[in-house]
Amino acid sequence: MRLRIKDLREDHDLSQETVAQALGIPRATYCNYENGRRNIPNALLCDLADFYHTSVDYLLGRTDDSAPPVA
């Protein structure tokens, strides 16, 4: 499965270090998530969706609608 986190990071002109710091994880760990070498824990996936103001489904490629879910 190809996640959209690298594309989103690049679209926002952010470095891996910046995103990793925002999530409170080491850059190397984030790099492994971005490159598919490690699975992202569910809680961190939710944090990423919040960070990018989108849905987990969008991050996972289950939808092409990047709008955040309406509560």
Position 67 in a domain: no
pLDDT of residue 67: 85
Summarised one tens digit per residue, pLDDT across range 39-66 is 999 999 999 999 999 999 999 989 988 8
Segments forming the whole domain that contains residue 30: 5-60
| Alpha-carbon distances, residue 36 vs 2, 5, 10, 70 (angstroms) | 7, 10, 16, 29
pTM above 0.85, yes or no: yes
Position 51 in a domain: yes
Q: Whole-number mean pLDDT of the chain?
A: 92
Position 27 in a domain: yes
pLDDT of residue 71: 66
Per-residue pLDDT band at 16 (split at 50, 70, 90) = very high
Position 28 in a domain: yes
Position 65 in a domain: no
- Give me the half-sphere count of Cα atoms (radius 13 Å) on the Cβ side of residue 22: 14
State the total domains in the chain. Answer: 1
Position 33 in a domain: yes
pLDDT of residue 2: 66
Position 14 in a domain: yes
Q: Any idea what the CATH number is for the domain that residue 20 is in?
A: 1.10.260.40
